[in-house]
């Protein structure tokens, strides 16, 4: 059974409530928390737990962020992502939880700057408004929301949370809240990432396949077109057959790499929407999947290009000229490779359409 893991980076100022949020998410006391002075030490502290049997949350609690130690803090984050063999935060962390304490009067300019930068770098950010149980939380939430929207944080990405059970004067505890909504948003973020990345990565794979087929055909042209047989029709027929097979195989591999992305993504999607429910997903979900994946995905794509493979390559007729054999040899090889390129150009030209089709298919599904 495959397990999905969401890597989550938990950041924010000291006493924003990062460690308390971690403990709340995990349902147990994992990191020490406390008021008065920095609590979590200098470093990044990774913890994992299973939200359900197929969904793991891997959360990194961090040293509190302050303007006077921003550089040191940034270096810590960089070291951490390098440790995970990633170049950018977004390459390792699926989501950043940026905690802001609703008990503070305002969002500092340096924090807004950091948020803007993290957004511009393509990170999926959720702003967690902690201490949502404090007096005046509703008004502060509204004011913070306005500012955050101005900075490009979508309304859905702002989640008020109360992470601790509060003792009231009467002795009864105020409830914690916000966990389920936050977990939902993290799952949605994972899905968005798939929708964002799958089409581009299918295309990169397809382009590499086409490059390889093109190089293989050029090598065959070099091998089969020689001084002694460059006027032989039979030789060209043989070459056509070999290159036709290479290009045909390339075509089906390219198709397969798009189809594999659809299959992978749908499997991933099902795991996300299923939430570990053994009875599986609802009829509604099934219907959405059927709609999202056009059944003619393969057919349209195949028809379009395979016509070109046959049409272009097989019409080749070699030029006849006996005067300058060496130059003619080069010319004939180059002409053959150009014919091959005319086919691969068509294949490449149809990739954007396949990519956007895959994107549309995935966008039809929503977690
Ligand atoms: N009422 C209330 N108190 C909270 C909430 N979240 C955190 N606290 C309290 O705020 C204080 C600071 O919380 P921490 O979780 O230690 O904050 P932190 O961001 O990890 O702080 P550093 O480790 O110093 O960076 C603690 O006393 C928590 O009990 C909340 O949602 N509501
Ligand atoms: Mg802490």
Regarding whether 355 and 217 lie in a shared domain, the answer is yes
Which ligand minimizes its atom distance to the CA of 38? 1
Regarding whether 268 and 152 lie in a shared domain, the answer is no
Which of 86, 93, 81 has its CA nearest to residue 10?
93
Beta bridge partners of 5: 56
Regarding whether 71 and 155 lie in a shared domain, the answer is yes
How sure is the predictor about 295, in pLDDT bands with cuts at 50, 70 and 90? very low
Lowest mean pLDDT among 128-132, 142-146, 200-204, 324-328: 324-328
Predicted pLDDT of residue 116:
93
Regarding whether 83 and 131 lie in a shared domain, the answer is yes
pLDDT digits (tens, 9 = 90+) for 19-58: 999 999 999 888 878 776 677 788 899 999 998 777 889 9
Q: Average pLDDT over the chain, rounded to whole?
A: 83
Does 283 reside within a domain?
A: yes
Kindly report the CATH number assigned to the domain that includes residue 107.
Answer: 3.40.50.300
Identify the residue whose C-alpha is closest to ligand 1 atom 6: 17
More confident residue, 297 or 362: 362
Which of 145, 177, 209 is a domain's end point? Answer: 177
Dig out the tokens for 54 from the structure.
């197929």
Residue range of the domain that includes 245:
198-364
Average pLDDT of the residues in 353-358? 84
Distance 167 CA to ligand 1 centre (A): 14
Is residue 17 predicted with pLDDT exceeding 90? yes
Does 193 reside within a domain?
A: no
Regarding whether 138 and 94 lie in a shared domain, the answer is yes
Does 187 reside within a domain?
A: no
Lowest mean pLDDT among 65-79, 110-124, 207-221: 65-79
11 Cβ below 6 A of ligand 1? no
Share of the chain above pLDDT 70, in %: 82
Predicted pLDDT of residue 282:
58
pLDDT digits (tens, 9 = 90+) for 77-110: 999 999 988 889 998 999 999 999 999 988 989 8
Lowest mean pLDDT among 33-47, 60-74, 305-319: 305-319
pLDDT digits (tens, 9 = 90+) for 113-172: 999 999 999 899 999 999 999 888 999 999 999 999 999 999 999 999 999 987 666 656
Does 190 reside within a domain?
A: no
Does 192 reside within a domain?
A: no
Regarding whether 96 and 46 lie in a shared domain, the answer is yes
18 Cβ below 6 A of ligand 1? yes
Q: Is 183 exposed, middle or buried (0-12, 13-18, 19+ CB in 10 A)?
A: middle
Which of 147, 177, 207 is a domain's end point? Answer: 177
How sure is the predictor about 208, in pLDDT bands with cuts at 50, 70 and 90? very high
Regarding whether 171 and 303 lie in a shared domain, the answer is no
Regarding whether 221 and 115 lie in a shared domain, the answer is no
Is residue 216 predicted with pLDDT exceeding 90? yes
Which ligand minimizes its atom distance to the CA of 73? 1
Regarding whether 147 and 15 lie in a shared domain, the answer is yes
Is residue 293 predicted with pLDDT exceeding 70? no
Distance 121 CA to ligand 1 centre (A): 28
Regarding whether 351 and 232 lie in a shared domain, the answer is yes
Q: CA-to-CA distance for 276 and 289, rounded, in angstroms?
A: 18
Does 191 reside within a domain?
A: no
Does 186 reside within a domain?
A: no
Q: Evaluate whether 65 touches 12 at the Cβ level (below 8 Å).
A: yes
Identify the residue whose C-alpha is closest to ligand 1 atom 28: 34
Predicted pLDDT of residue 188:
86
Which of 177, 211, 240 is a domain's end point? Answer: 177
Predicted pLDDT of residue 299:
57
Identify the residue whose C-alpha is closest to ligand 1 atom 2: 131
Dig out the tokens for 149 from the structure.
């929207």
Is residue 219 predicted with pLDDT exceeding 90? yes
Average pLDDT of the residues in 329-353? 88
- Pairing outcome for strands 4-12 and 55-62: parallel
Domain count, the chain: 2
The CA–CA distances, whole Å, from 341 to 268, 300, 337, 363 equal: 37, 22, 6, 33
Which of 179, 144, 138, 176 has its CA nearest to residue 158?
144
Count of CA atoms in the C-beta half-sphere (13 A) of 16:
25
Is residue 192 predicted with pLDDT exceeding 50? yes
- Pairing outcome for strands 4-12 and 173-174: unpaired
Lowest mean pLDDT among 31-40, 166-175, 212-221, 280-289: 280-289
Phi/psi-derived region of residue 283, left when phi > 0, alpha when psi is between -120 and 50, beta in every other case: alpha
Is residue 313 predicted with pLDDT exceeding 90? no
Cα distance between the two ends of the chain: 20
Identify the residue whose C-alpha is closest to ligand 1 atom 9: 17
Does 100 reside within a domain?
A: yes
Non-local (6+) Cβ contacts of 310 within 8 A are: 244
Regarding whether 203 and 166 lie in a shared domain, the answer is no
Beta bridge partners of 58: 7, 48
Average pLDDT of the residues in 323-334? 82
Regarding whether 211 and 139 lie in a shared domain, the answer is no
Nearest-atom number in ligand 1 for the CA of 37 is 24
């Amino acid at each position: 059974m495959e397990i999905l893991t969401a890597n989550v980076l938990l950041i924010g100022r000291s006493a924003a409530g990062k460690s308390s949020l971690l403990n709340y998410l995990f349902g147990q006391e994992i990191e020490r928390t406390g008021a008065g002075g920095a609590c979590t030490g200098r470093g990044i502290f990774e913890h994992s737990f299973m939200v359900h049997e197929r969904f793991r949350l891997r959360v990194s609690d961090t040293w509190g962020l302050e303007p006077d130690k921003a550089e040191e803090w940034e270096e810590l984050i960089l070291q951490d992502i390098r440790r995970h063999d990633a170049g950018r935060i977004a390459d390792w962390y699926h989501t950043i939880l940026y905690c802001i304490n609703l008990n503070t009067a305002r969002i500092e300019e340096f924090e807004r700057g950091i948020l803007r930068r993290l957004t511009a770098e393509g990170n999926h950010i959720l702003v967690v408004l902690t201490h949502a149980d404090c007096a005046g939380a509703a008004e502060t939430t509204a004011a913070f929301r306005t500012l955050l929207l101005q900075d490009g944080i979508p309304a859905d990405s702002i989640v008020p949370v109360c992470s601790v059970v509060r003792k009231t004067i009467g002795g009864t505890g105020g409830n914690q809240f916000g966990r389920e909504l936050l977990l939902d948003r993290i799952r949605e973020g994972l899905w968005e990432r798939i929708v964002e990345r799958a089409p581009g990565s299918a295309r990169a794979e397809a382009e590499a396949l086409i490059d390889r087929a093109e190089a293989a055909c050029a090598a065959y042209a070099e091998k089969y077109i020689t001084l002694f047989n460059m006027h032989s029709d039979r030789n060209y027929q043989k070459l056509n057959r070999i290159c036709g097979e290479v290009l045909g195989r390339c075509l089906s591999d390219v198709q397969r790499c798009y189809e594999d992305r659809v299959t992978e993504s749908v499997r991933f999607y099902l795991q996300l929407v299923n939430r570990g429910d053994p009875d599986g997903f609802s009829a509604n979900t099934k219907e959405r999947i059927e709609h999202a994946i056009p059944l003619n995905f393969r057919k349209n794509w195949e028809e379009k290009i395979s016509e070109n493979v046959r049409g272009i390559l097989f019409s080749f007729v070699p030029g006849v000229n006996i005067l300058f054999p060496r130059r003619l040899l080069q010319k004939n090889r180059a002409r053959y490779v150009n014919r091959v390129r005319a086919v691969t150009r068509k294949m490449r030209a149809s990739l954007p359409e396949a990519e956007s089709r895959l994107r549309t298919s995935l966008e039809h599904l929503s977690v």
